[in-house]
């Protein structure tokens, strides 16, 4: 990435691009079909889905005017009120391995704390090995099963992190 790379809040004009990135990366990792978040209606309207300032945010990585990926937090569906979920964090291959994932997770965790969440949960798949290593390095603890009810029944790996305030 260049010096012209930065993370910013999503805008409505980013919706089509971030939706395409989510579909591309999920296809790359063979996470398509029933039970994966690629089928969530919000994929096509991420800015609207994360527009409630009281409980959610979504951010994008922009490089030279082009969106390269994103990630966000929102309340855990059918979970405890003080638990958020790290959601839809995907980056195009050109932006990987440069520390942007760590920066995005940190921004999401800081935002979750600001919004009053006490824990951050996430679901993923085992084959997203690099992402799972990042989550471990950032203090997420592996769980034996899922929390809440996200509808993502095909995920096989679950993490939670206590958010110290």
Summarize the confidence of residues 58-84 as an average pLDDT: 96
Q: Residue 1 has what pLDDT?
A: 47
For the chain, give the percent of residues with pLDDT over 70.
98
Distance between CA atoms of 114 and 98, rounded to whole angstroms?
26
Cα dihedral 128, 132, 133, 134 in deg (nearest 10): 110
Distance between CA atoms of 9 and 90, rounded to whole angstroms?
15
Summarize the confidence of residues 122-136 as an average pLDDT: 94
SS3 state at 23 = helix
76 contacts: CB under 8 Å, gap ≥ 6: 83, 84, 85, 121, 147, 148, 150
Q: Is there a contact between 85 and 130 (Cβ–Cβ < 8 Å)?
A: no
Domains defined along the chain, listed by start: 5-162 (3.40.630.30)
Summarize the confidence of residues 41-68 as an average pLDDT: 95
Reply yes or no on whether the pLDDT at 165 is more than 90. no
The 8-class DSSP code of residue 117 comes to -
**Main-chain phi, psi angles of 6, to 5 degrees:** -160, 160
Summarize the confidence of residues 84-112 as an average pLDDT: 96
Reply yes or no on whether the pLDDT at 10 is more than 90. yes
Q: Residue 37 has what pLDDT?
A: 85
Could you read off the pLDDT of 142-152 as tens digits, one per residue? 999 999 998 88
Distance between CA atoms of 127 and 132, rounded to whole angstroms?
9
Q: Residue 9 has what pLDDT?
A: 98
Structure tokens at 140: 């997420």
Q: Residue 111 has what pLDDT?
A: 97
Distance between CA atoms of 156 and 92, rounded to whole angstroms?
22
């Amino acid at each position: 990435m260049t010096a012209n790379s930065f993370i910013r809040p999503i805008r409505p004009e980013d919706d089509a691009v971030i939706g395409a990135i989510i579909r591309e990366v999920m296809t790359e990792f063979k996470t398509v079909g029933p039970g994966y978040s690629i089928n969530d209606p919000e994929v096509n309207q991420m800015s609207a889905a994360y527009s409630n300032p009281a409980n959610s945010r979504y951010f994008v990585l922009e490089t030279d005017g082009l969106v390269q990926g994103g990630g966000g937090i929102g309340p855990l569906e059918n979970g405890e009120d003080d638990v958020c979920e790290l959601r839809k964090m995907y980056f195009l291959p050109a932006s990987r391995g440069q520390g942007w994932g760590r920066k995005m997770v940190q921004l999401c965790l800081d935002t979750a704390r600001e919004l009053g969440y006490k824990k951050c949960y996430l679901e993923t798949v085992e084959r997203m090995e690099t992402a799972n290593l990042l989550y471990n390095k950032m203090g997420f603890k592996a769980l034996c099963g899922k929390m809440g009810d996200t509808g993502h029944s095909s995920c096989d790996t679950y993490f939670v992190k206590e958010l110290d305030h």
